[in-house]
């Protein structure tokens, strides 16, 4: 037996055990699939656990900013500072908040009657507010001495002003009321007035990418587009019911979303206003306000049904719904510029802070934590089509009044569908055409 | 206002006045400039051209100027790549929408990348597989344990040992990480110990016959099938459970990922006990008669049962009937074994034959061997060596599944009758339970040299064990997921969806059957037309009633959900408000 060669597995424990107690454990890995049997079912169970944990950790409410003595009418985001928020109330008071400490840093009576809208200037040093007293006031964002408390500039408008929006870069801002007016900071008269019809406008918004464009919602159920280089309005689209608010997509310059009185939101492409790109349903009452996330992928909508809903901009149904027992009708919503939080103002004098992703963990993640979360995220996506997992991921508890309203709306929809079907089957073929949902809600487009 | 030329402003596509272009034109006059309206397609072509140019440049540099040893990533052994493959990839056919095609292709790329990475990670494995090589005029079978013990290091040589015990015949089972050994004597001797350090956990005599025993998910719990019931002991030998639901058990197998203890008893009943909640999840009569030939398929956690008629049946707790049945031998079966990857099954009958089957394609045996005597027991090792017990001989075959082997790889003769044996996971060791005790021998190359510590770790300490137990419990696979194809849960459920729709449609939109009008017996007094009408009406009524009932059945589950179980208040029941009846 001269050429006998034997090798037997013989492990030195030192290679597999940690040398000291303070060391980490040695974890040798072997990715051979035969050592990891039942890959499919195990991944499925992990995905199921991950999706359950997601629902367990879904606690989006962070806190409320308490202080206003009347309902909150408007909110204004600071363009460069995440912790600053301005809010106006129905009693004419404006409060400036520090969001990190959740405290009010400054408050003053700005207008007689409502504060209709607030907006910061692009450099963030001033903010403007419009009120029911037909004034447009400019304030200093930060006060060094007591004189700064007074408005820097007060413009008197001839007519009621109900909305304000500032240009992205130039010292120009637009207000709306009876007409859409363009102002320059230094002048006391509007530099341009756009008129189309006689009805009043209640919301105006500058496009932040294609900065020459602006759009306004009118109470004659129309949404009007303007180019401020032109002398007149560009186009308008008339809906079945009036739109309450409008928000431009910050990533796609030609897309905007309107919050409508008919419980839906409509996303339009300005190149083709005849038909909305998407109809976002799910609210059970009029949608009051809408704001896009800075990524342009999602937007938040606040409604008269006391809920906030988050929509993905390409999908027709909401991704999430936020509500609390004490939150009343929503008046304004904002998505913060770090894409992490949502701020909502409501009728009952509170401003609420929510997480934008309900189950997200706040704060710094350790690398292992992050990889674990990424892994579970990937698993959730992989098994998202499974009935069990889909059911858990989709389920949201909503208050009874919402549930009942949803049921009612569903029955109404079914009824209409059935009725139309009956009509169709009993009339001449082709005389009752199929009208897609997207075309139903737009009356006409004017140029 | 509108025409104010702002110099710092970024240029937009709609701003006319191409000043910049002119400038560039002036600068390089010898270069031809084409004004082409750029479209997405053109840009893409341009991009490709540039990429190709760069690649060519790089290749040129690589070939001529700098000669590197490894210009690119090191090549991967195709065999290793194949090992980590998750099946044939997506070819791109049959997808209608280009966007989905793009998405699927991207995903496929990721899969390929993962496969490559896994294959590349093989370089990090520290241990090498064992082997036994002799020169050409000798045979490996001539190497006995003494020679092996002389030629290996001392620690490995201690793995050859023998225990002489009095309560035989003995059964032996290793724990899942291969560190602990459980011995059960027919006459009631039960012992568990760490066989590497030879540290005894406990040793008791249960004063009853022990038919089979098994480790549970951790080494602190063992189950023993005794004369009447199933008992569970902890690592000090204290009885912690007596499971009277399971009686007269002959054989059992523990399914570690499902936390199920699969058992078969004297009366031919199969039971699966969920040991994490203590409930029986499946209890069926197998209608195959008394059998003690049982093994689990680790690939899909089904249980293979061999019966006296030569049929092997595969069982899952979710179905009353076997998932598959195959007639392997025409004589009673003596042993069944399934390899770790779930590819091959070895069966042996009393006709002294040994057959190897491809489990996933039960067409015919891959190999058919005739042995000297009927095997008592069969067992696959982690590296697909097959051990066969022939009376008091153990023969180990390597490569007997795909190729036909003439001779065994190793042979070990003992003075005692063999009752069972097990290959030790992650070691080159075969532990043999005999009538007179336990023998441990070395079979070089039988075990997997590199363990995965997150799966089963021979060196784990108490804390790691506890953590692993919690993790394993969190990932407990439900018993319903035991199927022949374990990847079924990841596949698209196309046929069942179709079936559901068809079933629903067939209930709702049933076409009335054609009615045969020709009567069997002519009845006087009624015209043909009237009779036709009567028959037709009756059939129609029947059909309408049927469809109404079908609709009721379809609607039922929704209504059932709404009705909650009522709470009884006794006499006060009449004050409870009644639910409104919907019309």
ipTM of the predicted structure? 0.84
**Cβ–Cβ gap A40/B486 under 8 Å:** yes
| Shortest Cα–Cα distance, B575 to chain A (Å) | 24
| Shortest Cα–Cα distance, B428 to chain A (Å) | 6
Size of interface A-B (CB pairs under 8 A): 152
> CB neighbours (10 Å) of residue B26?
8
pLDDT at residue B37 above 60? no
Closest CA to B284 of B327, B318, B252, B245: B318
Distance CA A49, CA B475 (A): 8
Closest CA to B153 of A13, A7, A3: A7
pLDDT at residue B452 above 70? yes
User: How far is CA A151 from its chain centroid?
Assistant: 31
Taking a C-beta distance cutoff of 8 angstroms, is the pair A81, A127 a contact? Answer: no
- Residues 166-205, chain A: which have Cβ within 8 Å of B? 191
Taking a C-beta distance cutoff of 8 angstroms, is the pair B423, B380 a contact? Answer: yes
**pLDDT at position B20, please?**
44
pLDDT in tens, A402-424: 999 999 999 999 999 999 999 99
A46 interfaces chain B, CB cutoff of 8 Å:
yes
**Cβ–Cβ gap B124/A29 under 8 Å:** yes
> CB neighbours (10 Å) of residue B517?
10
Distance CA A308, CA B158 (A): 70
pLDDT in tens, B464-479: 999 999 999 999 999 9
B342 interfaces chain A, CB cutoff of 8 Å:
yes
**Cβ–Cβ gap B452/A35 under 8 Å:** yes
**pLDDT at position B3, please?**
45
pLDDT in tens, B174-191: 999 999 999 999 999 999
**pLDDT at position B362, please?**
80
Interface-testing mutation among A9, A211, A386, with chain B (most B C-beta atoms within 10 A): A9
Highest average pLDDT, of A402-411, B4-13, B104-113, comes from A402-411
Give the strands of the sheet with A255-260, arranged side by side.
Answer: A243-248, A255-260, A265-269, A278-280
- Give me the residue label for tokens 């408005």: A151
Q: Where are the alpha helices (DSSP H) in B28-180?
A: 40-60, 78-83, 98-120, 145-151, 154-157
Residue of chain A nearest B427, judged by CA positions = A9
Q: Which of A153-162, B47-56, B87-96, B263-272 has the lowest mean pLDDT?
A: B47-56
Q: Which of B78-92, B318-332, B367-381, B567-581 has the lowest mean pLDDT?
A: B567-581
pLDDT at residue B572 above 50? yes
Q: What is the mean pLDDT of residues B539-555?
A: 85
pLDDT at residue B193 above 50? yes
**pLDDT at position B278, please?**
92
Residue of chain B nearest A192, judged by CA positions = B1
| Shortest Cα–Cα distance, A208 to chain B (Å) | 14
Distance CA B540, CA B375 (A): 67
Angle at B147 between CA B143 and CA B148, to 5 degrees: 85
Interface-testing mutation among B450, B457, B466, with chain A (most A C-beta atoms within 10 A): B450
- Residues 391-450, chain B: which have Cβ within 8 Å of A? 426-428, 442, 444-445, 447-450
CB-nearest partner of B84 from A7, A17, A33: A33
**Cβ–Cβ gap A1/B341 under 8 Å:** no
Closest CA to B291 of B326, B316, B263, B319: B263
**pLDDT at position A311, please?**
97
Residue of chain A nearest B491, judged by CA positions = A40
**pLDDT at position B562, please?**
52
- Residues 235-254, chain B: which have Cβ within 8 Å of A? none
More confident residue, B32 or A106: A106
pLDDT at residue B302 above 70? yes
CB-nearest partner of A27 from B442, B453, B477: B453
B344 interfaces chain A, CB cutoff of 8 Å:
no
Which token pair is A249? 């997509």
Taking a C-beta distance cutoff of 8 angstroms, is the pair A254, A212 a contact? Answer: no
Residue of chain B nearest A33, judged by CA positions = B84
CB-nearest partner of A7 from B126, B128, B427: B128
- Residues 201-260, chain A: which have Cβ within 8 Å of B? 210, 229-230
B269 interfaces chain A, CB cutoff of 8 Å:
no
**pLDDT at position A413, please?**
94
H-run or E-run covering A253: none
CB-nearest partner of A38 from B129, B134, B257: B257
List CB contacts (< 8 A) between A8 and chain B: 130, 148, 152, 156, 159, 428, 442, 444
pLDDT at residue B497 above 80? no
**pLDDT at position B26, please?**
45
pLDDT at residue B149 above 50? yes
| Shortest Cα–Cα distance, A284 to chain B (Å) | 23
**Cβ–Cβ gap A30/B452 under 8 Å:** yes
H-run or E-run covering B324: strand B324-327
**Cβ–Cβ gap B477/A45 under 8 Å:** yes
B144 interfaces chain A, CB cutoff of 8 Å:
no
- Give me the residue label for tokens 């005029």: B137
**pLDDT at position A45, please?**
96
pLDDT at residue B6 above 50? no
- Residues 445-474, chain B: which have Cβ within 8 Å of A? 445, 447-455, 457-459, 464, 474
Which token pair is A370? 């992050």
Share of chain B above pLDDT 70, in %: 83
Taking a C-beta distance cutoff of 8 angstroms, is the pair A214, A165 a contact? Answer: yes
Confidence class for position B15, pLDDT limits 50, 70, 90: low
**pLDDT at position B480, please?**
93
Taking a C-beta distance cutoff of 8 angstroms, is the pair A315, A323 a contact? Answer: no
| Bridge partner list, A330 | A346
Closest CA to A266 of A311, A305, A206: A311
CB-nearest partner of B447 from A1, A9, A15: A9
Interface-testing mutation among A38, A45, A229, with chain B (most B C-beta atoms within 10 A): A38
More confident residue, B573 or B345: B345
Task: Indicate the SS3 state at residue B554.
Answer: helix
B87 interfaces chain A, CB cutoff of 8 Å:
no
**pLDDT at position B1, please?**
40
pLDDT at residue B346 above 50? yes
| Bridge partner list, A245 | A259
A43 interfaces chain B, CB cutoff of 8 Å:
yes
Q: Which of A98-107, A427-436, B276-285, B571-580 has the lowest mean pLDDT?
A: B571-580
**pLDDT at position B566, please?**
60
Which token pair is A105? 């840093």
Closest CA to B162 of B150, B172, B152: B172
Angle at A325 between CA A323 and CA A330, to 5 degrees: 50
| Shortest Cα–Cα distance, A138 to chain B (Å) | 23
Which token pair is B578? 């009644």
Residue of chain B nearest A4, judged by CA positions = B134
| Shortest Cα–Cα distance, A35 to chain B (Å) | 7
Q: Which of A298-302, B14-18, B111-115, B202-206 has the lowest mean pLDDT?
A: B14-18
**Cβ–Cβ gap B127/A11 under 8 Å:** yes
Distance CA A273, CA A437 (A): 15
Confidence class for position B569, pLDDT limits 50, 70, 90: confident
Closest CA to B425 of B457, B396, B465: B457
**pLDDT at position B24, please?**
42
Closest CA to B270 of B241, B293, B299: B293
Residues of chain A with pLDDT under 50: none
Taking a C-beta distance cutoff of 8 angstroms, is the pair A219, A201 a contact? Answer: yes
β pairing state of A233-239 and A442-446: antiparallel
Taking a C-beta distance cutoff of 8 angstroms, is the pair A159, A165 a contact? Answer: no
pLDDT in tens, B371-393: 999 999 999 999 999 999 998 89
Residue of chain B nearest A1, judged by CA positions = B134
Which token pair is B98? 């280009």
Q: DSSP state, A3?
A: T
DSSP B3-71: T---SSSPP-TT----HHHHHHHHH-TTS--------HHHHHHHHHHHHHHHHHHHHHIIIII---S-S
Distance CA B349, CA B306 (A): 10
Average pLDDT, chain B: 85
B83 interfaces chain A, CB cutoff of 8 Å:
yes
């Amino acid at each position: 037996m001269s050429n006998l060669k034997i090798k037997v597995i013989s492990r030195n424990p030192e290679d597999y055990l940690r040398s000291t107690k303070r060391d980490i454990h040695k974890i040798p890995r072997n990715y051979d699939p035969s050592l990891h049997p039942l890959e499919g079912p195990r991944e499925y169970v992990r995905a199921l656990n991950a999706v359950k944990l997601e629902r367990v950790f879904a606690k989006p409410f962070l806190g409320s900013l308490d202080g206003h003595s009347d309902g909150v009418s408007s909110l204004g985001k600071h363009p460069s500072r995440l912790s600053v928020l301005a809010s106006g109330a129905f009693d004419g008071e404006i409060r400036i908040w520090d969001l990190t400490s959740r405290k009010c840093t400054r408050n003053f009576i700005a207008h007689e009657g409502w504060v209709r809208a607030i907006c910061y200037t692009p450099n963030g040093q001033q903010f403007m507010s419009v009120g029911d007293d037909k004034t447009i006031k400019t304030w200093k964002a930060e006060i060094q001495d007591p004189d700064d408390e007074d408005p820097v500039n007060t413009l008197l408008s001839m007519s009621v002003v109900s909305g304000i929006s500032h240009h992205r870069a130039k010292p120009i801002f637009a207000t709306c009321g009876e007409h859409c007016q363009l102002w320059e900071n230094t002048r006391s008269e509007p530099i341009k007035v756009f008129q189309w019809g006689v009805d009043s406008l209640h919301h105006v918004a500058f496009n932040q990418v294609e900065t020459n464009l602006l759009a306004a919602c009118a109470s004659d159920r129309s949404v009007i587009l303007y180019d401020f280089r032109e002398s007149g309005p560009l186009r308008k689209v008339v809906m079945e019911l009036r739109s309450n608010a409008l928000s431009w997509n910050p990533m796609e310059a030609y897309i905007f979303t309107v919050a409508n009185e008919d419980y839906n939101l409509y996303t339009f492409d300005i190149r083709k206003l005849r038909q909305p790109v998407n109809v976002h349903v799910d609210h059970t009452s009029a949608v009051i306000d809408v704001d896009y996330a800075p990524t342009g992928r999602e937007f938040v909508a606040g409604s008269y049904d006391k809920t906030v809903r988050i929509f993905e901009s390409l999908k027709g149904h909401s991704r999430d719904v936020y509500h609390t027992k004490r939150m009343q009708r929503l008046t304004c919503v904002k998505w913060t510029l770090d894409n992490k939080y949502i701020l909502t103002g409501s009728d009952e004098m509170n401003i609420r802070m929510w997480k934008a992703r309900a189950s997200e963990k706040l704060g710094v993640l350790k690398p292992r934590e992050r990889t674990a979360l990424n892994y579970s995220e990937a698993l959730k996506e992989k098994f998202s089509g499974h009935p069990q997992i889909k059911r858990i991921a989709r389920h949201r508890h909503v208050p009874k009044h919402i549930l009942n309203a949803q049921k009612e709306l569903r029955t109404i929809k079914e009824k209409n569908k059935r009725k139309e079907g009956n009509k169709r089957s009993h009339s001449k073929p082709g005389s009752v055409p199929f009208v897609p949902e997207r075309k139903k809600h737009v009356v006409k487009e004017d140029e | 206002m509108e025409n104010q030329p702002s110099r710092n402003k970024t240029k937009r596509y709609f701003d006319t006045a191409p000043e910049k272009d002119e400038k560039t034109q002036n600068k390089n006059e010898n270069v031809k400039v084409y004004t082409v309206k750029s479209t997405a397609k053109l840009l893409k072509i341009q991009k490709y051209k540039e990429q190709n140019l760069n690649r060519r440049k790089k290749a040129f540099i690589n070939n001529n100027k700098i000669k590197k040893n490894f210009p690119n990533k090191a090549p991967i052994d195709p065999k290793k790549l194949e090992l980590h493959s998750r099946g044939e990839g997506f070819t791109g056919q049959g997808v209608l929408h280009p966007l989905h095609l793009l998405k699927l292709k991207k995903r496929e790329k990721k899969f390929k990348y993962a496969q490559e990475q896994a294959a590349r990670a093989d370089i990090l494995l520290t241990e090498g597989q064992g082997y036994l090589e002799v020169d050409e005029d000798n045979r490996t079978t001539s190497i006995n344990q003494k020679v092996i013990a002389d030629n290996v290091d001392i620690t490995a040589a201690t793995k050859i040992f023998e225990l002489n015990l009095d309560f035989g015949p003995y059964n032996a089972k290793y724990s899942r990480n291969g560190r602990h050994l459980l011995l059960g004597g027919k006459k009631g001797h039960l012992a568990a110990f760490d066989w590497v350090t030879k540290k005894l956990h406990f040793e008791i005599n249960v004063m009853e016959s022990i038919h089979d025993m098994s480790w549970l998910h951790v080494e602190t719990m063992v189950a023993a099938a005794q004369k009447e019931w199933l008992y569970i002991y902890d690592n000090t030998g204290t009885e912690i459970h007596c499971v009277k639901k399971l009686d007269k058990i002959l054989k059992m197998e523990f399914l570690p990922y499902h936390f199920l203890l699969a058992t078969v008893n004297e009366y031919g009943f199969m039971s699966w006990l969920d040991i994490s909640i203590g409930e029986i999840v499946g209890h069926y009569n197998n209608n195959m008669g008394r059998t003690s030939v049982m093994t689990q398929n680790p690939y899909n956690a089904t249980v293979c049962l061999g019966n006296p008629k030569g049929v092997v049946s595969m069982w899952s707790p979710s179905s009353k009937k076997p998932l598959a049945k195959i007639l392997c031998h025409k004589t009673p079966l003596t042993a069944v074994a399934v390899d770790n990857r779930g590819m091959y099954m070895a069966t042996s009958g009393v006709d002294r034959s040994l057959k190897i089957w491809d489990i996933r394609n039960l067409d015919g045996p891959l190999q058919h061997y005739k042995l000297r005597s009927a095997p008592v027991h069969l067992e696959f090792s982690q590296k697909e060596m097959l051990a066969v017990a022939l009376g008091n001989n153990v023969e180990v075959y390597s490569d007997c599944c795909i190729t036909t082997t003439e001779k065994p790889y190793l042979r070990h003769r003992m003075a005692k009758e063999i009752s069972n044996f097990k290959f030790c996971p992650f070691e080159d060791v075969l532990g043999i339970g005999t009538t007179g005790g336990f023998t441990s021998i070395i079979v070089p190359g039988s075990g997997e040299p590199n363990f995965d510590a997150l799966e089963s770790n021979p060196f784990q300490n108490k804390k790691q064990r506890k953590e692993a137990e919690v993790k394993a419990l969190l990932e407990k696979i439900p018993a319903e997921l035991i199927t022949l194809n374990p990847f079924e849960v990841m596949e698209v459920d196309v046929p069942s969806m179709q079936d559901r729709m068809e079933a629903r449609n067939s209930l709702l939109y049933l076409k009335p059957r054609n009615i045969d009008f020709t009567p069997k017996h002519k009845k006087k007094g009624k015209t043909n037309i009237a009779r036709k009408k009567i028959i037709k009406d009756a059939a129609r009524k029947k059909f309408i009633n049927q469809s109404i009932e079908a609709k009721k059945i379809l609607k039922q589950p929704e209504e059932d959900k709404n009705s909650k179980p009522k709470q009884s208040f006794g006499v006060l029941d009449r004050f409870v408000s009644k639910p409104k009846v919907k019309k």
